[in-house]
Structure 1
Amino acid sequence: MPKTVRIYIQSIDKLNKTMGYLLALMLLVMTVVIFAQIISRYLLGESLSWSEELARFIMVWGVFIGSAIATRYQSLIAVEILPQKLPERFAKWVKLLVYAIIIIFCYYLFSYGIDMVRQVILQKSPAMQISMAIPYSSVPIGTLLIFLNTVVVLFESLWKEEAE
């Protein structure tokens, strides 16, 4: 494996570690906010107007960040019946084709996500009054993270096959 590829993989792994900590913090914040909403609603008789919106936005960001990390460790749900039934050398090509399709999909989703952010940048969320670009930016940023991790998996797959 070339040195530049190893450096790229190590960089993405460090980024994923940071994203994992961020994801844990987001889950903690979401849990506290939802718990505060429950306490506020049932014990104090007042509802927090912003809590459900914040929890929803954190959840969306968390799904994209978690998907990127899961992509790196190949932990996403996948249908493996075709590669399992094919001879090993054909299965390798099917997996490479899948990675290529994911990369192409990421390109289009990233582009579409950027367009969405541009369209909503001046809109404000109903409860928190923040720019809707913040929750919508989870699409291009999350897609970029998924793309970077798919490239890592692709590189490892290519160089693993050469080593064998």
Structure 2
Amino acid sequence: MSKVDLIFNRVSRILEVFMIVIFALLVLDVLFQVFSRYLLGTSFTWTEEFARFALIWMTILGAAYLNGKKEHLSMDFLYQKFSETNKRKASILIEVLIFLFALIVMVIGGLNLVYTTLHLEQLSGTLRIPLGYVYAIMPFSGFLIMCFSIYHISNFLKNKNIE
């Protein structure tokens, strides 16, 4: 196993653990909200906002994770009809398009969003944290997707078989 493969596996494992932690916090947050509302008779407003932010982070990080594992949703009926050479070409083209999307929309657009919300000092309604910190997950995940796309392209170029 090469050094790049070890780094890829380590980053994937860190993402897994981080998403598990976010999910566990989300579950605890929702359980606390239900407990406080029905058993204590009071409702804490911050729990809904925390749940929303945790779900955003988990979703965006999950997209990067699934891209790295190549387990994202795809329709491959036509792709399966291709020869091995055309599969390799199509796979590289798909990864280049994913890379460009992540660069333009997630990294550049995400950094613009983070900068704008931090510059305007926008705070979340209840938790009063800068929204730029919440939105920072977008360029971070975009960067991960770009790295994963480069990793996949290099594997397609090195290997003869496509899987």
If the length of structure 1 is used for normalisation, what is the TM-score? 0.90
- Give the conservation status (yes or no) of the 8 Å contact 1:68–1:142: yes
- Give the conservation status (yes or no) of the 8 Å contact 1:12–1:148: no
For the pair 1:100 / 2:96, whether they are aligned, the reply is yes
In structure 2, C-alpha distance between the alignment counterparts of 1:10 and 1:138, rounded to whole Å: 24
Q: Shift of residue 138 of structure 1?
A: 1.1
Structure 1 outlier segments of 4+, above 2 Å? 6-9
Matched to 2:59, the amino acid is: V
1:59 alignment counterpart? 55
- Give the conservation status (yes or no) of the 8 Å contact 1:61–1:142: no
2:110 alignment counterpart? 113
Alignment of 1:1-164 (within 5 A): 6-109=2-105, 110-121=107-118, 122-161=121-160
SS across alignment from 2:78: helix
Q: Shift of residue 92 of structure 1?
A: 1.5
Matched to 1:148, the amino acid is: C
In structure 2, C-alpha distance between the alignment counterparts of 1:35 and 1:61, rounded to whole Å: 19
Deviates more, 1:85-94 or 1:49-58: 85-94
- Per-residue displacement from partner, 1:45-66 (whole Å, max 9, x unpaired)? 2111111111111111111221
In structure 2, C-alpha distance between the alignment counterparts of 1:64 and 1:159, rounded to whole Å: 29
- Per-residue displacement from partner, 1:67-122 (whole Å, max 9, x unpaired)? 22211211100011221122221121111100011111111021010000011111
* Percent of pairs with identical residues: 22
In structure 2, C-alpha distance between the alignment counterparts of 1:55 and 1:128, rounded to whole Å: 11
Matched to 2:158, the amino acid is: W
Q: Shift of residue 25 of structure 1?
A: 0.7
Deviates more, 1:67-76 or 1:115-124: 67-76
SS across alignment from 1:81: coil
Q: Which ranges of structure 2 fall in alignment gaps of 5 or more residues? A: none
In structure 2, C-alpha distance between the alignment counterparts of 1:108 and 1:52, rounded to whole Å: 31
- Give the conservation status (yes or no) of the 8 Å contact 1:83–1:95: no
In structure 2, C-alpha distance between the alignment counterparts of 1:38 and 1:118, rounded to whole Å: 35
In structure 2, C-alpha distance between the alignment counterparts of 1:62 and 1:158, rounded to whole Å: 31
